Amino acid sequence: MNQSLELLPPLSSATMSRSNGRSEPEVIVNYGDGFAYSKHKMEEAFRPGGFLEKPPAKPAAIKDPSAPVLKREDVDLIVREFEIPRANAEKVLSENGGDITKALRALAAAPSNKSSN
């Protein structure tokens, strides 16, 4: 990691940000790639009850590991050819173990909701 341990002097009124009227945060360390740490944010992170003590957020949906892996191309084929929603195509594929041939046969054999006028 390319870093420079250069400490900056405390900010004076001359170094205040003119765009919003507030002074810039005190910088602890500037890195060569342009990233820096704010003293206030570091203190907030390490104080008791700070955001480092909170557990990480859980993912929105945990997938079943035993579920078959669906190929995007297979789902796209079913959506395009049968003109059904993506969720329905994924459901049919997963019901048939991810096998596109079985899924296509099941869809072709299923009664259609459209009237044959």
Taking all residues of the chain, what is their mean pLDDT, rounded to a whole number?
75
Threshold 0.85, pTM exceeds: no
Question: Who contacts 4 (Cβ-Cβ below 8 Å, separation ≥6)?
Answer: 29, 30, 31, 32
Q: Which candidate, 14, 45, 40, places its Cα nearest to that of 25?
A: 40
pLDDT at 80 over 80: yes
Residue 65 placed within a domain:
no
Residue 80 placed within a domain:
yes
Residue 63 placed within a domain:
no
pLDDT at 106 over 70: yes
From start to end of 1-117, where are the E strands?
A: 3-4, 27-31, 36-38
Residue 103 placed within a domain:
yes
Domain that holds residue 93: 72-109
Confidence band (pLDDT; 50, 70, 90) for 7?
low
